[in-house]
Structure 1
Amino acid sequence: MTSERPHLAVIGAGPAGLAATVAAASHGVRVTLVDASPEAGGQFYQQPAAELRARRPQALHHGWRTWELLRDELRTHVRAGLVRHLSDHHVWCVERRRTGAGPGFTVHALLGPEQQDPAEVRADAVLLATGGYEKVLPFPGWTLPGVVTAGGAQAMLKGTLTVGGRTAVVAGTGPLLLPVATGLAAAGVDVAALVESAAPKAFVRRARALAAEPGKVAEGARYAAELLRHRVRLLAGHTVVEAHGAERLEAVTVAALDPDGRVRPGTGRRIPCDTLAVGHGMLPHTDLAETLGCRLDGPDVHADDEQRTDVPGVWAAGETTGIGGAALALAEGHIAGRSAAARLHGTEPDPDGWAAAARTRTRLRAFFAALDAVHAPPAHWTEQVTDDTVVCRCEEVTGGEIRAAVKDLGAGDLRTVKLLTRAGMGWCQGRVCGPAVAGLTGCGSTASRRPFARPVPLGVLARAGETDDLEWHQ
């Protein structure tokens, strides 16, 4: 019977989570797929709301056929009773527990937009496919209305078919800027400039590694062709120095960078715009992994060749193990799902069953390692952060206050800076400002080991463990 099969909880319904769910269910494991969004797909496969009646949602995506196959396979497994999909469930903690048969886990979640109703899922193993989030480094004016993250602009376009303004500048660094700029241009926005801090020479130095993945190079060439077609000006080796405006964004000043990553004096130019979509790469979501005690390799969750973490019974796949795009996430999810299914059945997995996915994983990891080196933020970005620039938006802590904590008060680590300034004590718990505070202070980032991945009402904490496991619907 279905209820007697081993039970895997997959957290996150993006490319990695979907691939893992389908692979595990196909190999006889019942799966609970838990995701915070109303629909499966994650940010990459985000769909417009049904009420909008989008006629061609595929125009906002590439890899649409892959999404359709994953969606259809998920629905098939749900109808067969092998998968239950818990949408709109926000996981705040994964708790390890001991059972007679070995390790077990309780996934604690809050249901719905109000995130009040507690829900618990008990499983034999957990697969973390929690994705990543954007890194945005501060600069004067970055808190003005009209300044959004690059991913935020893309999510608005995909999810609501709307744009933030009529004239946009897309800026920062990283491969995400290309689809954001082309997407906005295709939607009718006048994209005044794509401002990329990486210089062309950085791509030349990594040309061999990048050329080893011709599909990705061709994808980049298609984006470049679209930029030319829409007459979007590319300013490579440039950065945003300041955003201007009284009540909201009115213009940005951009300037050229020298080979050391410093702004070249006298190169500033002012570009009128009402939207600035800015991002400086991505960071993996590791809160749940840290709470479980999983080892981190730098910012990434460590995983072996089977995508297992060093905590027994916990797998990880996709951006949480390293930022690398949807194709890499799909490969890792497939491997993780098959490995988890075999281990839960008490058998050794057959690596030949995921050989193609493993080859894809190896190639794409090498490609994105080269891309990461190309798209590193400017080495001296902190020089543009004035003492008046707000760095921690939640607590309104300025660059001057953070520098004073180190220079005048002797803070030597991020925790002490946090205690002295409150930087990182707000709603985001340092997820947004953490990299900026680390850069300004020269203190290395450390694992946070927060007990909870998101704020939780005290009433929910008081009742934790008293909620019955969510009923499995056949």
Structure 2
Amino acid sequence: MPASPSDPRGSVHDLAVIGAGPAGLAAAVTAADLGLTVALLDAAPRPGGQFYRQPAPGLGAARPQALHHAWGAFTRRAARLAAHRATGRVHHLAEHHVWAVTRATADPEHWAVHAVTGPDGAHGPAPELTARHVLLATGAYERQLPFPGWTLPGVVGAAGAQAMLKAGLVLPGRRIVVAGSGPLLLAVAGSLAAAGARVPVVAEAGDYRAYARSPRALAAQPRKLVEAAGHAATLARHGVRLRTRSAVTAVHGTDRVEVVTLTRLDRDWRPLPGTGVRIPCDALAVGHGLVPQLEPATGLGCATRPTPDGGHALVVDGRQRTTVAGIWAAGETCGVAGAELAFIEGELAARSIAGRGPVAALRRRRDRLRRFALTMAAVHAPRPGWSDWLRTDTEVCRCEEVTAGRIQDAVTGLGARDGRTVKLLTRAGMGWCQGRMCGTAVTHLAGDTDPAPTRRPLACPVFLDHLTDG
């Protein structure tokens, strides 16, 4: 029987889904369709994740679909979610920040999900939720590489700029340079330009011609080629230039961004002397791809694998099972690949949890999309020469204000050889973001070529008194 609608924690759920983005949403509604009781926990007030972030109701957005790709794929599943919520088959626990998953004390065969509630977890701990199975669909966050001036007001993440537009219907500026690496840049630039911003240039540090080295992966995904052509047409319509093998290597301004320096790069992303040009703007949207959000999976001991862009993703089998019995994963936690694949993996995971066989057509689509994702990650992977953008006074860890010079001193003067040692010597990565913003840069500057993913007992920041209360 479904758990009581008035008390979703009053009984053991068949499945706890952590994350209500495309993967988690698809898993929750598919599992409920198959007769399971589901608890869907998410940090946001509404389902959809970062990809389907929506304007607040009070803004009165008349056409939120205009800001999204494949809107129908989301709304169909959102309608199924609403139907299952009405019957009590699914309990959607919004603004729940899951900080750990552990074995349940009363029954080690079950899982206990620990969360804090409210914006940033400020409302305190939620009652413990128990489930027979857990699906991790925790998504990804944006990779940032530092450069001189990146802490100035007006510098925002590329995904952050898109989130501002989708959720708040606001732009980070009127004249916005978009830079970094990865296909997200094209979507961001197109959205900003369509919303009225002037986007003088998109600077892609990689080279799109590298896709030609994987013709089979491209041929298997004609829709991706159509999608890329659509982005190109949008940029052309709004007069946006695309420069490949180029990067913003410095930002200039007093109180906020006024000018950026755009520099040509060699194949290893080292700046080519004498190629810098200054472009006036009042905002910079920059990001170098996405990184799978692996907590709380790593805290549970789930195995990971290296990805072609220098990161890590969870190891899963053909049924989306992790290496820990009773724990499944879907979407970006298994490797960044986009919403279409996340929907498929969420559905496959739910079918596995319900004891149903996988749909052959879905598995084939998943495998094709996963192969394309590997190609995409390799094309846009950060190259080692990016650190030549830095000056000794460039802040690398923004939370603790640790500069590149201090990190270099820890490496050359104190013998640090990995990110953890640098952290102990300089406090880089000890701030609120716990290294999510600076981790890539710190490990690279430390010379750590194969850093292990961080394993933490807490998947998100939690107030100490909330831990004692919970």
TM-score by length of 2: 0.94
1:342-368 superposed Cα distances (whole Å, 9 cap, x missing partner):
2xxxxxx322xx222211110101111
Measure, in 2, the Cα distance between the counterparts of 1:261 and 1:81.
Answer: 53
2:399–2:431 CA contact under 8 A, matched in 1 = yes
- 1:454 is the counterpart of 2:460: yes
Secondary structure of residue in 2 paired with 1:191: coil
Choose which of 33, 45, 56 in structure 1 pairs with 2:52. Answer: 45
Q: How does 1:408-447 map to 2 (within 5 A)?
A: 408-443=413-448, 444-447=450-453
Choose which of 88, 92, 102 in structure 1 pairs with 2:95. Answer: 88
1:131 corresponds to:
139
1:377-411 superposed Cα distances (whole Å, 9 cap, x missing partner):
23300111111100000000000110110111011
1:89-136 superposed Cα distances (whole Å, 9 cap, x missing partner):
111111123655x62111111111252321121111111000000001
2:13–2:39 CA contact under 8 A, matched in 1 = no
> Any unmatched runs of 5+ in structure 1?
343-348, 465-474
Choose which of 341, 344, 363 in structure 1 pairs with 2:354. Answer: 341
Measure, in 2, the Cα distance between the counterparts of 1:432 and 1:93.
Answer: 21
2:334 corresponds to:
321
Measure, in 2, the Cα distance between the counterparts of 1:96 and 1:291.
Answer: 12
Q: How does 1:351-370 map to 2 (within 5 A)?
A: 351=358, 354-370=359-375
Choose which of 395, 399, 404 in structure 1 pairs with 2:400. Answer: 395
1:8 corresponds to:
15
1:184 corresponds to:
192
2:243 corresponds to:
235
- 1:311 is the counterpart of 2:324: yes
Q: How does 1:37-436 map to 2 (within 5 A)?
A: 37-97=44-104, 103-113=109-119, 115-119=122-126, 120-298=128-306, 299-342=312-355, 349-351=356-358, 354-436=359-441
Deviation at 1:140, TM superposition (A): 0.5
Worse-matched range after superposition: 273-282 or 256-265: 256-265
- Cα RMSD after superposing both structures: 1.4
Deviation at 1:287, TM superposition (A): 1.3
Secondary structure of residue in 2 paired with 1:109: strand
1:467 corresponds to:
none
Give the residue type in structure 1 aligned to 2:273.
Answer: P
1:5–1:28 CA contact under 8 A, matched in 2 = no
2:6 corresponds to:
none
Give the residue type in structure 1 aligned to 2:114.
Answer: H
Measure, in 1, the Cα distance between the counterparts of 2:160 and 2:269.
Answer: 26
2:181–2:204 CA contact under 8 A, matched in 1 = yes
Instruction: Name the CA shift for 1:259/1:414 in 2 (closer, same or farther; >3 Å).
Output: closer
2:309 corresponds to:
none
Deviation at 1:462, TM superposition (A): 1.7
Give the residue type in structure 1 aligned to 2:87.
Answer: A
Give the residue type in structure 2 aligned to 1:27.
Answer: L
Measure, in 2, the Cα distance between the counterparts of 1:89 and 1:243.
Answer: 37
Measure, in 2, the Cα distance between the counterparts of 1:230 and 1:90.
Answer: 39
Measure, in 1, the Cα distance between the counterparts of 2:207 and 2:275.
Answer: 15
Measure, in 2, the Cα distance between the counterparts of 1:290 and 1:213.
Answer: 32
Measure, in 1, the Cα distance between the counterparts of 2:77 and 2:286.
Answer: 31
1:33 corresponds to:
40
Secondary structure of residue in 2 paired with 1:28: coil
Secondary structure of residue in 1 paired with 2:227: helix
Measure, in 2, the Cα distance between the counterparts of 1:304 and 1:15.
Answer: 20
Secondary structure of residue in 2 paired with 1:39: coil
Measure, in 1, the Cα distance between the counterparts of 2:404 and 2:12.
Answer: 54
Aligned residues: percent identity? 55
Give the residue type in structure 2 aligned to 1:447.
Answer: P
Secondary structure of residue in 1 paired with 2:316: coil
Worse-matched range after superposition: 441-450 or 154-163: 441-450
2:146–2:441 CA contact under 8 A, matched in 1 = yes
Deviation at 1:200, TM superposition (A): 4.0
Secondary structure of residue in 2 paired with 1:103: coil
1:96–1:292 CA contact under 8 A, matched in 2 = no
